[in-house]
Structure 1
């Protein structure tokens, strides 16, 4: 039988021991070394059976600090075949001793790395290379100091003037450690004996309680509570003295170690192991425990670990479960992959899992795991309930971490609900409504929903633009005059044009039909003139975007005025000459070319280079342009070519008669990239 010896001086070491003891019975014998009896107790509690409260079988715990020779003796006596070094990253001497002992015994050595934080020096953090350097720095300062670097080198802090009053030491809660600290002069309120890692809230409370000006810490990584300490210090106004890691180590992450052991000892392959783990995606509602469903709360109770944004984790803090504060899907996936000791994982999500939630992406990244979903009360349901209004006819959009054309939605729908996720988001939305001609629509805004400081205000867009709201807010906009013509063909007289040439209404209608626009198209209007085509395209593709490219300053100004008049914020004016003006724009799905200044082929080549399947429509009056367009259709990789010659006659009243007045014939040439 193989025998594995783990030097478990970290949280990761304890987790590894617990994991192996539950998965390698009858396959591998586990030995664990800890420097103290207290560490041994933590190991035993980590692998203890809930049923009989006895240490799991197949594990032997050795306590006490060992010299290199004693390590060699242990490896020989127990016939160890593999050593895993999970000691603290700052315990350099211990790691060197373990490596030397392994070399002497010919035993395989693996280093389990603790991920560092990648936090660098800034105005709130001073990085030093050692505790000695930290002490020298603190000698020239005033104010209280919370020291969280452990008891082993605490004696060095006695060199600081008035250390017995200034220095507050946070150390492990064992009688031996407390006695050693007391001998150094650290006692009473200046000695805090507790087992970490600690939450951000507890760190803040301690820093404020002792009126700390400084916090001394090592980079203990996420599992060591390092990020919580840094954030707490910032919020409490304490300067961080960070002792940088002594060396750049090579080794393996927890996930890599487990994969290696699983493969070598046949515990379970990765797919089988994932299928045995359960990831629950839980919608927690608005945020208070009372707002959670009983089913969702029960799933949290059953979970081994809770994952979510810090605000969400506060909702279930009373459960006392291990937590990981994160909301980015890649961070969550990495954590779950690196911690296979957790069999039931609960990912907590705000509101409901089906309404602009991260659950959709989570289901994809955890497709190899067993997954369950738990619905919650969504913000639209809660908010409309508070307003005593039905939500069955509400149009839903999100401005939280994404873009949406709220103006177009307000024009089309009588009720629009929007999630807001940026600073001054409500104010900016109301200012936009006023700017695009909707100052009198009713706006209802809510923040801190379900909490004791919940606030809901209402008023016109004009009045609400003066109010301030939290970054995370919701709004309901009511526009009783909402209506929208769904066809193109706005009358020419509706546009501001001055002396700038404009594509006439009938030609515009045919050209837009040939474009085959979709509601989310990204469109170029090259040679936009007054912007009449740009405006109509923006109205049709209200969830897309239109780039109006125009070289003449007078026309550029007119497009801006028409943009405001027709309330199309999804239209952007680009002043310049194509094709150069197109180079930095996003790839188009469609392009309308009303004026090319002799650069038609180069323009089409650039469009097709950006998107080989782009749909292109060209308007040409001059026969030279028609000839150039025909040449392009033959030379460039396009298909579905079509040419229509359009002659429009418009009536004009002459006395009692209506006379037909002919306009210049226009050639409408269309094609699609042959991708």
Structure 2
């Protein structure tokens, strides 16, 4: 007793047999020929029978096996067989379901005819070679075409009986091609060119039958397709919808194979073989339009979408697609949207790496990338200026048409106009553009948003592994400056991360601001200062140290801080008597903010301790630092004491904002 009987003369039929057997539903597969039967592998749940059945044979089979359903997945042009199956089901009282192959898209350049006879009649009034892809059964109908032995080139199954029947009709030698599909557009194109064909005759066999690949080859070669219409206008289920129907009928859950495929730069030539295989096998292709257009197969179901939540929602709402490929630019592990998708799909995905833009571009410009700093400035904060100042080679993905000009202008502003910028646009596409020039020459450049850059700075100065820039390195003027020893301990107490958002309240000359910006190179520093002379020095020090992630905020705290983003860290070097209000605003912005306060006077210490008590701050630590420096007096060195400093560190109790 079999639960389902499948007439499996098509790709869809074979797929349904395997699908049901995989889900432990017993299937009786009927194939018309031994060759068709050999395409299925029998197992515990799948029995294969080969041979043509008459209506009465079908009815006898149905009564004997008493299946719950009969699936008619025969060829869309096998009209008589479909009629017989339907009649037998009605006689035996068995549920019948037709499985349809979707028709191909209409081709404005094609000749559409109703039958093989009509196709032969049309071709009889033409000149030029004809490529027949309709098989051997109706080949005799084309022998009425004048000079058919010279004009016809027939592609048929490579079965001895088929080859003999074609030879008997006078189609042999180079005019007879014995091959088993599927055939790519490239193979079809090669054959059309080889035989110098003017026409290709086909039936509308849909995506599974290779119809789109034939149309694509015709377009490439300037060949006219002659398309024989389907004999019946039928209703039924597609392969995808049939899976949903059968899963509900037999009570099992549909599974999906989801692949995240890195497609390289975008052009098909940068696809890996593994990636190409996954994309070709996908019933549903998802990705941004630029990416899907580069890799989709003709007739393939495509969803143009790049937002991870929308992609996941669509996949879950359409379980009928058994294989899904999500096309992602470059490599899935290189600044890719793959991470979000993996998390939202609960890790139930296959990840296929691609060729990253850094590998491709660096090979194009002849530079190694093993010693390069690799980042992305596309839709994210990235302090390229600091990286280029401290690294001899920096690669970055850009994302705007003026990206190169903006970068070049900033480099010139910070005194790095002689840095060489290698620029790559539309990598791998026909309009690929790669060039290099000095930053000073690119401040007005406008290019394509789809671009990358490699900056080579021969004068790069490596960043120190610890804080502690010498006081003499800073421009001073008359503005107060937090000294090197105090600055070092204070920064240590701050516990910065590379992506911290920092306030320097009462920044003075900006010595703390600069060191913050260098350490939090992926974050942002806001230097708040009220004095005009200090602001001028601050600006000069920002420029000298090329800390592009340092923003100077004129004004008095806390008012000047109101519109700033929430800080993760704050250094208070001067409060102008507003300690309580400053700390209150910091905690409102981030209840878990990390704070370090420098106090010279006892009154400021009192202010700070009162605020710590009033706001219930935790992790409180107080250090008094008294440093002395030597001063040369003749041949002697005298130690000269600096003012003692209180360094108070603490944190808020609330939930941290990151």
Specify which of 260, 285, 289 is matched with residue 264 of structure 2: 285
Where 1:355 maps in the other structure, the secondary structure is coil
Distance 1:375 1:549 in 2: 46
> For residues 478-534 of structure 1, what are the alpha-carbon distances to aligned partners after superposition, in whole Å with 9 as ceiling and x for unaligned?
223321222222222322232211111221112111212221111111111111110
- Please tell me whether residue 425 in structure 1 is matched to residue 403 in structure 2: yes
Is the 8 Å Cα contact of residues 335 and 376 (structure 2) preserved in structure 1?
Answer: yes
Where 2:441 maps in the other structure, the secondary structure is helix
Distance 2:429 2:547 in 1: 37
Residue pairs, 1:159-178, within 5 angstroms? none
Residue pairs, 1:512-531, within 5 angstroms? 512-531=491-510
Q: Rate the CA distance shift 1:637–1:317 in 2: closer, same or farther, 3 A.
A: same
Is the 8 Å Cα contact of residues 639 and 674 (structure 1) preserved in structure 2?
Answer: yes
Q: Residue 450 of structure 1 corresponds to which residue in structure 2?
A: 428
- Please tell me whether residue 477 in structure 1 is matched to residue 455 in structure 2: yes
Q: Rate the CA distance shift 1:51–1:616 in 2: closer, same or farther, 3 A.
A: farther
Distance 1:515 1:644 in 2: 13
Specify which of 365, 372, 383 is matched with residue 344 of structure 2: 365
Specify which of 386, 390, 394 is matched with residue 416 of structure 1: 394
Q: Please report how far the alpha carbon of residue 267 of structure 1 lies from its aligned counterpart in structure 2 after TM superposition.
A: 6.9
- Please tell me whether residue 587 in structure 1 is matched to residue 611 in structure 2: no
- Please tell me whether residue 438 in structure 1 is matched to residue 416 in structure 2: yes
Q: Rate the CA distance shift 1:265–1:385 in 2: closer, same or farther, 3 A.
A: closer
Q: For the aligned residues, what is the CA RMSD?
A: 3.3
Q: Residue 508 of structure 1 corresponds to which residue in structure 2?
A: 487
Specify which of 335, 342, 346 is matched with residue 356 of structure 1: 335
Where 1:319 maps in the other structure, the secondary structure is coil
Distance 2:404 2:74 in 1: 51
Residue pairs, 1:63-462, within 5 angstroms? 272-273=253-254, 276-367=255-346, 370-462=348-440
Where 1:668 maps in the other structure, the secondary structure is strand
Distance 1:637 1:512 in 2: 23
> For residues 195-226 of structure 1, what are the alpha-carbon distances to aligned partners after superposition, in whole Å with 9 as ceiling and x for unaligned?
xxxxxxxxxxxxxxxxxxxxxxxxxxxxxxxx
Is the 8 Å Cα contact of residues 458 and 464 (structure 1) preserved in structure 2?
Answer: no
Is the 8 Å Cα contact of residues 279 and 366 (structure 1) preserved in structure 2?
Answer: no
Specify which of 52, 63, 73 is matched with residue 49 of structure 1: 73
- Please tell me whether residue 532 in structure 1 is matched to residue 511 in structure 2: yes
- Please tell me whether residue 640 in structure 1 is matched to residue 619 in structure 2: yes
Distance 2:499 2:75 in 1: 58
Q: Residue 621 of structure 1 corresponds to which residue in structure 2?
A: 600
Specify which of 571, 576, 599 is matched with residue 578 of structure 2: 599
> For residues 30-77 of structure 1, what are the alpha-carbon distances to aligned partners after superposition, in whole Å with 9 as ceiling and x for unaligned?
xxxxxxxxxxxxxxxxx98377878999xxx9xxxxxxxxxxxxxxxx
| Structure 2, unpaired ranges of 5+ | 1-18, 27-70, 87-111, 115-240
Is the 8 Å Cα contact of residues 285 and 296 (structure 2) preserved in structure 1?
Answer: no
Where 1:345 maps in the other structure, the secondary structure is strand
Distance 1:311 1:265 in 2: 37
Is the 8 Å Cα contact of residues 48 and 54 (structure 1) preserved in structure 2?
Answer: no
Q: Please report how far the alpha carbon of residue 463 of structure 1 lies from its aligned counterpart in structure 2 after TM superposition.
A: 2.1
Q: Rate the CA distance shift 1:286–1:658 in 2: closer, same or farther, 3 A.
A: same
Distance 2:349 2:436 in 1: 41
Q: Rate the CA distance shift 1:48–1:426 in 2: closer, same or farther, 3 A.
A: farther
Residue pairs, 1:664-675, within 5 angstroms? 664-675=643-654
Q: Rate the CA distance shift 1:51–1:599 in 2: closer, same or farther, 3 A.
A: farther
Q: Residue 548 of structure 1 corresponds to which residue in structure 2?
A: 527
- Please tell me whether residue 650 in structure 1 is matched to residue 629 in structure 2: yes
> For residues 147-179 of structure 1, what are the alpha-carbon distances to aligned partners after superposition, in whole Å with 9 as ceiling and x for unaligned?
xxxxxxxxxxxxxxxxxxxxxxxxxx999xxxx
Q: Rate the CA distance shift 1:441–1:624 in 2: closer, same or farther, 3 A.
A: same
Is the 8 Å Cα contact of residues 549 and 574 (structure 1) preserved in structure 2?
Answer: yes
Is the 8 Å Cα contact of residues 619 and 667 (structure 1) preserved in structure 2?
Answer: yes
- Please tell me whether residue 661 in structure 1 is matched to residue 640 in structure 2: yes
Q: Please report how far the alpha carbon of residue 442 of structure 1 lies from its aligned counterpart in structure 2 after TM superposition.
A: 1.7
> For residues 93-128 of structure 1, what are the alpha-carbon distances to aligned partners after superposition, in whole Å with 9 as ceiling and x for unaligned?
xxxxxxxxxxxxxxxxxxxxxxxxxxxxxxxxxxxx
Q: Please report how far the alpha carbon of residue 418 of structure 1 lies from its aligned counterpart in structure 2 after TM superposition.
A: 0.3
Distance 2:547 2:496 in 1: 16
Is the 8 Å Cα contact of residues 522 and 545 (structure 1) preserved in structure 2?
Answer: yes
Distance 1:296 1:423 in 2: 30
Distance 1:627 1:502 in 2: 22
Specify which of 574, 592, 609 is matched with residue 588 of structure 2: 609
Q: Please report how far the alpha carbon of residue 574 of structure 1 lies from its aligned counterpart in structure 2 after TM superposition.
A: 1.6
Distance 1:465 1:390 in 2: 26
| Structure 1, unpaired ranges of 5+ | 1-18, 27-46, 62-172, 176-257
Q: Rate the CA distance shift 1:384–1:313 in 2: closer, same or farther, 3 A.
A: same
Is the 8 Å Cα contact of residues 279 and 296 (structure 2) preserved in structure 1?
Answer: no
Distance 2:248 2:258 in 1: 26
Distance 2:395 2:489 in 1: 35
Where 2:648 maps in the other structure, the secondary structure is strand
Q: Rate the CA distance shift 1:318–1:534 in 2: closer, same or farther, 3 A.
A: same
Is the 8 Å Cα contact of residues 431 and 465 (structure 1) preserved in structure 2?
Answer: yes
> For residues 374-425 of structure 1, what are the alpha-carbon distances to aligned partners after superposition, in whole Å with 9 as ceiling and x for unaligned?
1111111111111222222221100111111111211232211100111211
Is the 8 Å Cα contact of residues 501 and 529 (structure 1) preserved in structure 2?
Answer: yes
Q: Residue 184 of structure 2 corresponds to which residue in structure 1?
A: none
Query: Taking structure 1 as the reference length, what is the TM-score of the superposition?
Result: 0.59
